[in-house]
Each structure stands twice: as structure tokens, then as C-alpha cells.
Structure 1
Amino acid sequence: MTEPVAAAVESLRLVDHHVHGAARGDLDAEGFAAGLSESPFPAPPGTSQLDSQVGFAVRRWCAPVLGLPPHADAPTYLQRRRELGADEVARRFLAASGIGCFLVETGYRADEILSPAEMARSATTPAHPASAEEVVRLESVAEDVAATAPDASCFAEAFAAALGKRVQGAVGLKSVIAYRHGLDFDPEPPDAGEVRRAAGQWLRDGGRLTDPVLLRHLLWAGVEHGLPLQFHVGFGDTDLTMHRCDPSKMTGFLRRVQDRGVPIMLLHCYPYHRTAGYLAAVFPHVYFDVGLAVNYSGARSAAVIAESLEVAPFAKVLFSSDAWGPPELHHLGALLWRRAMTALLGEWVESGDWSQADALRVAELIGAGNARRVYRLEER
């Protein structure tokens, strides 16, 4: 009874609705290990960042893609990567992922990773073409504007013009206000005077954008474009304060924008993925994924995915790898998602709780259909 479920999940051309580019150049041992951790600090003496769920998953599931046996040791694995070279490694993993469309957020260290067009070329096979679309990070646009040294009184206008240019051809916007301030921000849009004063202070002080008034201004400027608006939630590096990344803290903003027709996309969400599922269940414009957590939970990823499917309507859950850097993460995110969905849906069909037809439909919705609908990919 479960074989059709397994075959259908395996054959899905996934839409990765939140992802970054694969590493552009060769990675040494240190760079590769760093790419598999959200921590900027080295592992304890005598150990490696590969001594983790994600590290073990890479050695188990990614080694065969490079022509190595499962569980190849780290030195052998790294030597094989060097022999093949960055371009071939990226091509193998992106093609093996079975991802048919990447929605690439380009605002983080873009010079070190493949562009959306390069991602699509690397993932294309003779049997299956791949595509890629851009998601624009609001804070990066603002920092580009600041680099032109505008007068504070002109900042809002300059940002609006720059964002208007960047969204042409883009399918979505993203905010990292969770990193720069927290999700416990004032849900009301700031007035022009507040924006002018905050811009003056930021332009004098320099540095990256962390002012909560300006961060709110970016959000509301983004809302005006009507595109899906992504938010980093939960799991991340030491730059964020975890308890301020609980998505329930932005409930006021969710209420405030509910009638604006803007889909709110909650990304990653672990360990708040159950909270995100609740928000997706009660608000018509809220969607979520567990992207980053799938790779980092490795052999436990099926448990995380199962928890994400407890209360959320299945039309509100999306697939994401949130991979950045090592292309193993693009492949692994898809592979672990497929394994988890096959096991979970198969179990529910086998027990009689779900029909086979419902299982097949839900797999397609989460793997691709929801993203195509929300980001209007069929219109492109």
C-alpha cells in the first residue's frame, strides 16, 4: 500500500521556497566544517563540526553522490571533494536533489555563492530542467542605499526607489529583523519624522542596520509591494537572541497586515515550529517551513517534520532546505525531507488513518504546489 507513496515522493520536482546559493569556490576542511554549523566557534579539541547529526547525515547520504561508500570517513570525503572540484561537486548535488525550482535569497555574502541563474544551470539535467527565482532581502537593499550617503530626509524616498528596482522580477522579500532586533517589534508603521530621525542617527554612526524604527519601516515598505514576505524565525547563529525569535511575538504585526493580501512566510521555526504551525492554522495569510532544522536534525529530522504536521493545514506548509554554501546541504535537505515524508505518510496510510490519495496530494502540496500557488510561479 505504501509503495505508490514512496514512488510519488521520490519523483516530485520540489520547489525550494527558501534557499541560498551553493559555494562558488573550493572549500578547505575548515571552510567545509564551518558550512555545516551555525556556530562561529571551533569544535572542542579532538572533535569536528562533522561530529553532529548534520555531519553524520552528510557522510551517510552525500558520500555516494561523490562515488564513495556510505559513512566514508571525513578525510576521505574531503579528499574526494578536492579531486572533483567545486563545480562538479555542486553539479552533482544540485542535480541529485531533484529540486526543480530554487527561490534564492541573495542578500547574504552573495559574492561567495552561485547566483540564481548559476543554480538553475547546475541543477538542470537532460531529463529535468531547473529554474531559479530571486528573493530580495530588505536589510541588504537599505544598506546599499546607505552606502550612497543620502541625506536623512531623502532616505525613505531613496530606499523606496531602490526597492522598486530590486523587486522587478523577484518573487518575494525577506526580513532578518529577528537577527537585527527580534520579533517582539512594534507592529505599527513608523511615521515620516521617526524614520527621518532614525535614518540620520544610522547614517552618522554607520554599520549594519539594527535600528528598530528603520527595520519596521522596511517591513511596511515591503508590504506595499504585495509579494510574499519571509521572516527568519528561531534556529540561527549566535547573532540572534533565541527567545526573541518566537513567532508568537509578532502576532500584532500578523493581525495588522492580515487584510493587506501579503503572505507571511515563517522560515526554519525550530524550536518554535509548533507555534508556527498554530499561527498558520489560525491566520489565513501565514505559512511556514522547518527548512534549516531538517538538515541539522539529521537522523531525527522525521520527528521535526512530523511535529510540523500536527495542527497546521497542509496548504500552509512548504518545503525548504535553507541551504547556504556546501551544496551537500541542498541535496541533503531534499533527501531527508523525502525520507521523512515517505515514512510518515506511508505509516498513516498503512494504519488506515489516511487514504493513499490524500497522502499523495499532501506530498505534492508541501513539496511544490503550495509554493507555486503562494509565489505565483505559474504566472511567470
Structure 2
Amino acid sequence: MVDQHCHGVRRDDPPRSGFEQLVAEGGAPAPPGTTHFDTPAGAAIRRWCAPVLGLEPHASAAVYLSRRAELGAAEVNRRLLRGSGVSAFLVDAGPESPGLLGPAEMGRLGGAVADEIVRLEEVERDVAEAGLPAVGYAGALRDELAARAARAAGLKTVAAHRRWPGSDLSRPSRGSVIAAAGRRLADPKARLADPVLVRHLLWAAADVARERSLPIQIHCAFSEDAHGDGASGDAAFGDADPARLTGFVRALAPLGVPVVLVHCYPHHRQAAYLASVFPHVYVDAGLAVALTGAGSAHILRELLELVPFHKQMYGSGCHGAAELCYLAALYHRRGLARLLAGRIAEGEWSVSDAARIAHMIGSANARRVYRL
């Protein structure tokens, strides 16, 4: 399997409160008197991850966390990442954090190949903080994007649930970019919000992606604040309906740049429709597979209602906790196997059809699109 969309996991062993926030999409503590172990993901950790750490299935949360601390973060990560059965990780390393494993470490501990997915907003922030004049902003941004893309498997933007530039998705003029850059450089540490600069960043990335034959991942539905960028929420859960992205997706079609919609739940059906309509659009189920646990087969079933089999990929979306990487792979295999078996039993697909579809979704599509 190729995990075409994941983040680094923690290199240390957090306290219980910290661990519980890692395995909850909201990234906030559970209400007083409750625990995030009483969630589909929490129950799945106790059932499926406990045996990987040498415990009986359904070990209590306290016993599980005690065993986790006893083994140490490096051994826990090694067991869970290797146990996921992933042969290649494509890691979004931004926003950078010394507490998270980078792509090389994810590959080493996971016994897999690992490549980086470059986060556009991180590149832009580095350029903005470099102290250059506004007239040099556009050129510096393009040069830095090209330099980082040369070492990467793909590019990624989270603009869809920050400050999507609205209905005007045309390339901004040089003058408007310089004017907006002047305002931006006055406060370079602020989150990128100017719609002119968001448009410029997207089009600069599209040009680099076309030149290097790289795909662009667009992070769709979940709030980015839950993935640790430390910003206060200006995008709530589910804000970025993939339908908002249609204009930009359509504009990229003539360039031949593949677009991969990631973290699409709860709008996965809209994303599936875009993947069925546009030949350059792909989709994955993302972290929702791990978070919904035993109910994840329903999400996979809804994707398979419409997504062409050569347009769906596997991506765990894991961040912080290696348990999420393990559970996403486990439930992807279990859910897809159940769906394929049902189609075979109904006479809809042959066994060879099912095997070919499983191979495309789990590995072949990502290897083709990312040129692995």
C-alpha cells in the first residue's frame, strides 16, 4: 500500500491528555469527566493497536497508555508504522515541528520508502519572512517553490479552508501582487489571508507542478487547526465543501496537473462527483477511515458509488499518533475487502476484477500519479 497523504507522528510519548487530543480530530480535550477513548477511534485503538504492543485486545485505556510508555515512542512508532503494511509514505511535513518525525524518519521506522509533499503555505511564509522587498516577492516565491518541488513527490495547499479567494480565480496582475505583497510583508508572521496572494500562490504552484509533472493535493473538509498549525480557527469543520473548488479544478484541466482531493469527509460524495467528472481529479477517504473505526466501510462504500476505480487512492491522513496510521490501513483493508466480497457474491464483479480494483486503490493509482 502507498499512504499518499499523511503527516509525521510524535517522536516522544505524550501524557494521557496529549495523546487523547492527538486521536481526536478536534484536537481539544474531552469534556470534564469523559475521555476520547470513548469514541470509535478510541475503541479501535484498544481493540486493534493493543495486540501490536503486546497486550490483549480491549485492554483498558490506562493499561494501554502504561504499555505505550514502557515501550517508548520509538518502539511504539516502529511497531505501528510497520504493522500498517505501508510500503511508501508521502509525508506533508509542514507546519514543521521538532516534535514530529520527518519523511526520512517515517520511512526508516516504518520500513518503507518516504517522500515529501510540500505545503504551499509554508513555502510562502518562509518567503514572506525573508525580509525581501515587495517587488521581489513573486520571483522569490516561484524560485523557492521550484527548489522545494525538485525534491518532492507533490505539492499541497490548505487554502480551501483558510481564505479561499472566492469566485475570481484568474491569475492576478503583477501590479496587484506587488501591492498585496507590500501589505503582506508588513506582517509576515500572520496567516496568509489576502485573496490576491492566495490566487498568486495557487497559480505559481500550478506552473511549477506542470513543469515538474507533480500533482497538487487540495485539503478539503477538516479544520486545519486540528492538524497543529497553532492558529485560531477561521475555518470550521466541513467549511471547505469541494464544490467551492470546482472553478480552480476546472482551470487546471488544460495544464494537465493532477489534483488530489484529500480529507474530503463529510463532503466525500461531492468529491467523488468531481473525480468522476474531471479526468485529472483524484480522491481519498482520508483520516475519516481511522476516526470512524468499525463504521468506516460505509464511507468507502459511498466513495465507490461513483469514483472511477482508477481515480481513488489510499491516504491515512494520520497526524501525531502512529495509531491512526495503523487503524486507517487496517480499516481500509477490512472495509474494502468487505465491499469487494459483496460485489463478487452479487455477481457484479469477478474475483479478478476485485483484485485489480483493490490494487489500483491501494497502490497503483498513487504510484502512477506521483511517479513513484
- Confirm or deny a common fold (TM above 0.5): yes
CA contact (8 A) 1:232 1:268 kept: yes
SS of residue paired to 2:91: strand
Which whole-Å CA distance do the structure 2 matches of 1:353 and 1:239 have between them? Answer: 45
CA contact (8 A) 1:20 1:106 kept: yes
Could you tell me which amino acid in structure 1 is paired with residue 80 of structure 2?
Answer: F
SS of residue paired to 1:16: strand
CA contact (8 A) 1:185 1:250 kept: no
Q: Which residue of 2 aligns with 1:228?
A: 215
Which whole-Å CA distance do the structure 1 matches of 2:194 and 2:4 have between them? Answer: 28
SS of residue paired to 1:205: coil
Matched, 1:366 2:365: no
Identify which of 110, 131, 135 aligns with 1:149.
Answer: 131
CA contact (8 A) 2:222 2:264 kept: yes
Q: Which residue of 1 aligns with 2:194?
A: 211
SS of residue paired to 1:224: helix
SS of residue paired to 2:262: strand
Identify which of 20, 23, 30 aligns with 1:36.
Answer: 23
Matched, 1:169 2:151: yes
CA contact (8 A) 2:160 2:245 kept: no
Can you list the C-alpha shifts for 1:215-257, whole angstroms capped at 9, x where unaligned?
1111111111221000111123454234640111121112211
Q: Which residue of 1 aligns with 2:121?
A: 139
Which whole-Å CA distance do the structure 1 matches of 2:27 and 2:76 have between them? Answer: 24
Q: Which residue of 1 aligns with 2:348?
A: 353
Q: Which residue of 1 aligns with 2:319?
A: 324
1:259-270 superposed matches below 5 A: 259-270=254-265
SS of residue paired to 1:341: helix
Can you list the C-alpha shifts for 1:79-108, whole angstroms capped at 9, x where unaligned?
000000000000000110000000111112
CA contact (8 A) 2:161 2:221 kept: no
Q: Which residue of 2 aligns with 1:100?
A: 87
Which whole-Å CA distance do the structure 1 matches of 2:66 and 2:164 have between them? Answer: 41
CA contact (8 A) 2:171 2:203 kept: yes
- What's the offset of the Cα at 1:38? 2.2
Which whole-Å CA distance do the structure 2 matches of 1:255 and 1:115 have between them? Answer: 33
Q: Which residue of 2 aligns with 1:115?
A: 102
Could you tell me which amino acid in structure 1 is paired with residue 242 of structure 2?
Answer: P
5+ long unaligned stretches in structure 2? 227-232
Over the matched positions of the two proteins, sequence identity in percent amounts to 49
SS of residue paired to 2:287: helix
Which whole-Å CA distance do the structure 2 matches of 1:335 and 1:311 have between them? Answer: 23
Q: Which residue of 1 aligns with 2:279?
A: 284
Which whole-Å CA distance do the structure 2 matches of 1:180 and 1:87 have between them? Answer: 34
Q: Which residue of 1 aligns with 2:184?
A: 202
- What's the offset of the Cα at 1:212? 1.7
Which whole-Å CA distance do the structure 2 matches of 1:256 and 1:156 have between them? Answer: 21
Matched, 1:190 2:172: yes
SS of residue paired to 1:19: strand
Which whole-Å CA distance do the structure 1 matches of 2:321 and 2:199 have between them? Answer: 33
CA contact (8 A) 1:20 1:104 kept: yes
1:221-260 superposed matches below 5 A: 221-225=204-208, 226=210, 227-236=214-223, 237=226, 238-242=233-237, 244-260=239-255
Query: TM-score, normalised on structure 2?
Result: 0.94
CA contact (8 A) 2:222 2:238 kept: no
CA contact (8 A) 1:19 1:102 kept: yes
- What's the offset of the Cα at 1:205? 2.7
Q: Which residue of 2 aligns with 1:53?
A: 40
**Structure 1 vs Structure 2 CA RMSD:** 1.3
Could you tell me which amino acid in structure 2 is paired with residue 86 of structure 1?
Answer: A
Could you tell me which amino acid in structure 1 is paired with residue 205 of structure 2?
Answer: G
Which whole-Å CA distance do the structure 1 matches of 2:93 and 2:250 have between them? Answer: 28
Q: Which residue of 1 aligns with 2:229?
A: none
- What's the offset of the Cα at 1:183? 7.3
Can you list the C-alpha shifts for 1:54-73, whole angstroms capped at 9, x where unaligned?
11111111111001111111
Matched, 1:79 2:69: no
Matched length: 359
- What's the offset of the Cα at 1:299? 1.3
CA contact (8 A) 2:165 2:196 kept: no
Which whole-Å CA distance do the structure 2 matches of 1:241 and 1:45 have between them? Answer: 23
Q: Which residue of 2 aligns with 1:25?
A: 12
Query: TM-score, normalised on structure 1?
Result: 0.92
Can you list the C-alpha shifts for 1:305-362, whole angstroms capped at 9, x where unaligned?
1101101101000000011111111111100100101111011112211111100000
- What's the offset of the Cα at 1:179? 2.7
- What's the offset of the Cα at 1:41? 2.9
Q: Which has the higher contact order (CA 8 A, sep 6+)?
A: 1
> Kindly tell me: are residues 305 and 239 of structure 1, through their superposed partners in 2, closer, same or farther at Cα, counting changes over 3 Å?
farther
CA contact (8 A) 1:91 1:122 kept: yes
